[in-house]
Amino acid sequence: MNWSIIFLFAAPFIGGIIALNKANANDSLLKVFLAFAGGYIFSITIIHLLPEIFEAGADAAGIIVLAGFFFQVFITRISDGAEHGHLHLHQHHHNMALPLGLYISMCFHAFSEGLPLGIIQDGIQTNQSLTIGIAMHELPASFALISILKSEHLKKQLVWLLLVVYACMAPIGLLVSQELSSILNEGIYTRLLAFVAGIFLFISTTILFENSENHQFNGRKLIAILGGVTLALVIYWSGLSH
């Protein structure tokens, strides 16, 4: 489990460092990475997470998936899409209430995603798929968050502190659920996984559709999406072979 903690911390931390050291937040390379992440997250949700959830037969699993989806809709209204890497710097006018609400919602979002990892019941494959999926969208999410905080002209030391705390949220979610795993049964794990699957469905489809221009994908983005799908399939098939 240690590699998961390191990976979940490193991805948002690296995204934040890139934002802190970059003068221009509008980067076409970020959009290509988002397309790759969107393809991967959507694919693991469809071919891995949802089948596992419904195979486990948890009560009201479909409703919980919907709850996760609309939870993310609510978070997006507060965060303005920053948790899936979208930047709207022009909409922020140095009112501390807005970045504070954004930051809290983003932290809660990251914490909730780490929860299922601490009580994984079926071994390495689900752990790998979820960890990589979370890390892939936390990197651009952190990039967007720190870029927005920078635009508020906060002190650099404070932004660094906020970055470190944010990078810790998914690992903390993992550790909290790991500590509670002895009193949480498999049904709770499946429900948490269903909730995160709903979050992933919203994030991945939003990335794929908002990242397209005139509802079309250019060559680079299409290749990036297919690359994400391929990675998801490789991880899935490698799990079946063990």
- Asked if residue 84 lies in contact with residue 137, where contact means CB atoms within 8 angstroms, the answer is yes
CA dist 116 and 127 (Å) reads: 9
Could you read off the pLDDT of 101-128 as tens digits, one per residue? 788 888 988 998 888 887 665 555 677 7
- Taking residue 215's Cβ as centre, other Cβ atoms within 10 Å add up to 6
Q: Token pair for residue 15?
A: 């995204």
Closest among 128, 145, 155, 132 to 237, alpha carbons compared: 128
Question: Residue 39: which residues within 8 A CB-CB, separation 6 or more?
Answer: 204, 208, 224, 225, 226, 227, 228, 229, 232
Longest dimension (CA), the chain: 53
Q: What is the CA radius of gyration of the chain?
A: 17
pLDDT beneath 70: ranges in the chain: 1, 23-28, 79-98, 119-125, 184-186, 211-217, 239-242
What are the two backbone dihedrals, phi and then psi, of residue 213, each rounded to the nearest 5 degrees? -110, 125
In the prediction, which pLDDT does 90 show?
46
Model pLDDT, residue 89: 47
Give the model's pLDDT for residue 93: 45
| Tokens matching residue 150 | 């920078």
Q: Please tell me the predicted confidence (pLDDT) of residue 24.
A: 56
pLDDT at site 171? 94
